[in-house]
Chains A and B, each alone.
Chain A
């Protein structure tokens, strides 16, 4: 049981880290960035590829994986979002363009096999792989009847530190004030001399870097890296997390992530593994029906 609680905290940290990026974009732009789960997968895939196929040290691969994710955030902004903003398209159009980008990213990784066009990026096609033992430092401790693997334990301080830094930046720095101003009212922010487009690009970069990092942590801790980890594990759960915490609220996404981790582990223990997914979504549905603003959301804003 203690081990299960620990697992809930591990997986909750990954959900939280992923959802923070999701909710940041929703808070600033009022759109759902459906390419976020593809960026999550890309971060993990690039790190794996650099470590295992290109023989780079794990730490460098991690940094490059996060950097590639951040650049992908810029791609999302310049290809999928900015042209639509220029044309005053409805927010629903951004759903379609980000889905299109997600399709491209997943298909590119999926087709990466030896001898194909994308082989420099990924060679395992649609298969699921894990870091071979020895490529990453992973000491394991036993405390009582608990098994503590460094790869899992490290998730907790990393994600908490990052979320604290992000919270500090948003709350107390000039950049954070700018972001909040754009989230509140883009037109007023522009009138006050803020470069709104730059703020939005920055939001996407931060969000995607966090998403990529969440992917790396997921891949390291769960030993499951495939083109579909984003779609299968976090795409819809990320929605559940940001709804539980309140759409657009960063602290809400953190609490929501841990909450979902606990709900799922509880469902696993009480109902067995097959009901796990269903329970999470039933919770999501009930939450929206009973308290649509989430646990920590401000009052509902009508957008999209």
Chain B
């Protein structure tokens, strides 16, 4: 309760005392958007943490060895994540549904356990120190990035690309027969998702003094968490995953009384939301949470990837 009381009565104090939370919500929103792009084109890809790791390690290593400016570091991470996205996407995008999900899990864990935990340059599992990190100063950059990402998502989903993705999600065969180049559009979605994840990884690395190669950070746990943002928020509309990221990330602060039992509360919350609103908090029609009794009944069906 204190959380909301402070939010409404003392916004400035709230901002000052919750800057790190707000920054994390921003990062998670970008990650959720990265997941949204693949889900919107009907692909269940869990590769985001792998591309995050690429973005983060590239940015930090460029900073450590070449002392390049921050923008260039993040750009380097984004470009490398996109390039790896193309290389990974070529073989795996023939897979569908849960097979794609498992293949991308194979990718992120092979990258993390096989390379990151073993290469001397990435600290061999001890992680990397990032002395030039700026946890509090980075917030404006994060919020600006979220705004740009959301604008791009909005334009994309309204445009030809979004229409093509939507068509592929709803019926791949029909989309193909309408002359939509399915493989190309899937690849665009996958690489865009990789780029966004790499970007979020670079940003997140800039907010932390330490790059930690743990499972919570770049492993399956993170992948499932990002999927949770997107599915819980609703993956039929670009705003849904951002709402999901906002809600799930701030849960521990909202339920501060629960303290150690926060994961129990989170679990109950996840089950409750998904059971009562399988299409996510933001349904297909936008932000309408509850249908008033006098409002015409809309045929609400959850968008299904694949």
Contacting pair B267 A101 (CB below 8 A): yes
Which residues of chain A come closer than 8 Å to B74, judged between CB atoms?
none
Contacting pair B274 A278 (CB below 8 A): no
A32 at the interface (CB under 8 A from B): yes
Compute how far the CA of A103 lies from the CA of B270 in the bound complex, rounded to whole angstroms: 10
A97 at the interface (CB under 8 A from B): yes
Which residues of chain A come closer than 8 Å to B99, judged between CB atoms?
243, 247, 288, 292, 300
Contacting pair B98 A275 (CB below 8 A): no
Contacting pair A97 B95 (CB below 8 A): no
Which residues of chain B come closer than 8 Å to A138, judged between CB atoms?
none
Contacting pair A91 B113 (CB below 8 A): no
A239 at the interface (CB under 8 A from B): yes
> In the complex, what's the smallest C-beta–C-beta distance from A93 to chain B, in angstroms?
5
| Cβ contact of B228, chosen from A99, A279, A303, cutoff 8 A | A99
Which residues of chain A come closer than 8 Å to B44, judged between CB atoms?
92, 304
Compute how far the CA of A21 lies from the CA of B301 in the bound complex, rounded to whole angstroms: 31
Residue of A nearest to B117 (CB): A274
Compute how far the CA of A92 lies from the CA of B38 in the bound complex, rounded to whole angstroms: 13
Q: A-side binding surface: helix, strand, loop or mixed? A: helix
> In the complex, what's the smallest C-beta–C-beta distance from A27 to chain B, in angstroms?
12
Contacting pair A239 B105 (CB below 8 A): yes
Which residues of chain A come closer than 8 Å to B101, judged between CB atoms?
32, 304
Given A93-B231, A285-B103, also A107-B261 (CB < 8 A): yes
Contacting pair A97 B118 (CB below 8 A): no
Which residues of chain A come closer than 8 Å to B270, judged between CB atoms?
96-97, 99-100, 103
Residue of A nearest to B220 (CB): A236
Residue of A nearest to B124 (CB): A274
Compute how far the CA of A236 lies from the CA of B44 in the bound complex, rounded to whole angstroms: 16
> In the complex, what's the smallest C-beta–C-beta distance from B96 to chain A, in angstroms?
5
Which residues of chain A come closer than 8 Å to B271, judged between CB atoms?
79-80, 97, 100-101
Compute how far the CA of A87 lies from the CA of B300 in the bound complex, rounded to whole angstroms: 11
| Cβ contact of A302, chosen from B215, B261, B306, cutoff 8 A | B306
Compute how far the CA of A303 lies from the CA of B98 in the bound complex, rounded to whole angstroms: 7
Contacting pair B278 A103 (CB below 8 A): no
Compute how far the CA of A284 lies from the CA of B104 in the bound complex, rounded to whole angstroms: 10
B1 at the interface (CB under 8 A from A): no
Contacting pair A285 B98 (CB below 8 A): no
| Cβ contact of B98, chosen from A32, A79, A279, cutoff 8 A | A32
> In the complex, what's the smallest C-beta–C-beta distance from B128 to chain A, in angstroms?
17
B54 at the interface (CB under 8 A from A): no
> In the complex, what's the smallest C-beta–C-beta distance from B101 to chain A, in angstroms?
8
A282 at the interface (CB under 8 A from B): yes
A240 at the interface (CB under 8 A from B): yes
| Cβ contact of A106, chosen from B227, B263, B278, cutoff 8 A | B263
B217 at the interface (CB under 8 A from A): no
B-contact 0/1 string along A113-139, CB 8 Å cutoff: 000000000000000000000000000
Which residues of chain B come closer than 8 Å to A302, judged between CB atoms?
96-97, 306
Which residues of chain B come closer than 8 Å to A192, judged between CB atoms?
none
| Cβ contact of B113, chosen from A92, A95, A277, cutoff 8 A | A277
Contacting pair B268 A100 (CB below 8 A): yes
Which residues of chain B come closer than 8 Å to A274, judged between CB atoms?
117-118, 124-125
Given contacts A92-B231, A232-B215, 4 further A-B contacts (CB under 8 A): A92-B305, A101-B271, A277-B113, A278-B115
Chain B residues within 8 Å of A, Cβ to Cβ:
44, 91-92, 94-99, 101-103, 105-107, 109-110, 112-115, 117-118, 124-125, 215, 220-221, 224, 227-228, 231-232, 260-264, 266-271, 274-275, 278-279, 301-306
7 A–B contacts from the bound complex (CB under 8 Å): A96-B228, A100-B266, A103-B266, A285-B92, A292-B99, A300-B99, A304-B306
